[in-house]
Structure 1
């Protein structure tokens, strides 16, 4: 069920745009690189005390949660988790791109909920057989 070349380029560009963010993340102590948030969470350890979560405000006074994890070398690393409903200009562009990609998927006959789930997988750094098939 691959898409035509124009739609393939649009789909690929949209996916790249959606997953860009603070990754890859590099440990400043040992240089270990975490390509995705999923890899960061899987290959670091929770802190010895506390939850490793801290609520704070970002530079625009919006609430965020910071996740603190220990790298394999013992250095503590932090990843900010912003509100999913990012209303910044960048967040609005990302939401527009998400809608554009969803239209490509639904136009190819993919059910909305299935397409959304597969797209969210890709955004988390997971593999999607459906999207991989479309990009063939």
Structure 2
């Protein structure tokens, strides 16, 4: 199970690879997506902070606009399609390997998938924690 714990950390590291983000006005750093969304604020315009955009290569992305604690508007870009880069392929491969290992340990595949996704979003997983303690 210690190997699974190490692999989980690797998957989280791949997920957070686009961070840290730094505010060019005040220098505040956001180390991961969870911190970015928790410590920034919605724009005061009342409009959605999400905007769909099309990259030069035709890839659709979602741009997220948030205000830094200093008031400066920050933008981050998230792909709303499967990441077809080598990085994306490696992330999916690692996720699949972890999912298989967890199901081999007796965890229902749907539960294992949900717990891995929750973990990637920065949430704690009692189920995975308990499995790793065995």
CA distance in 2 between counterparts of 1:133 and 1:16 reads 22
Aligned to 2:126: 129
How far is the alpha carbon of 1:33 from its aligned partner? 2.2
Deviation at 1:125, TM superposition (A): 1.9
Contact 1:36 1:124 in 2 (8 A): no
Q: Which runs of 4+ in 1 moved over 4 A?
A: 5-8
Are the equivalent residues in 2 in contact too, given 1:44–1:70 (CA < 8 A)?
A: yes
Using the size of structure 2 for normalisation, the TM-score is 0.83
Contact 1:23 1:35 in 2 (8 A): yes
Alpha-carbon spacing, 1:126–1:31, altered in 2? closer, same or farther (3 Å)? farther
Q: Which runs of 5+ in 1 are unaligned?
A: none
Alpha-carbon distance between aligned partners in 1 of 2:4 and 2:86, rounded to the nearest angstrom: 25
CA deviation vs aligned residue, 1:9-37 (integer Å, no higher than 9, x gap): 444434433x2322222222212222221
Partner residue of 2:30?
34
Unpaired runs of at least 5, structure 2: none
The CA RMSD over aligned residues, in Å, is 2.0
- Structure with bigger RCO (C-alpha 8 Å, 6+ apart): 1
TM-score, normalised relative to structure 1: 0.82
How many residues are treated as equivalent by the alignment?
Answer: 132
1:26/1:129 CA distance change after superposition, 3 Å: farther
Match of 2:107 in 1: 110
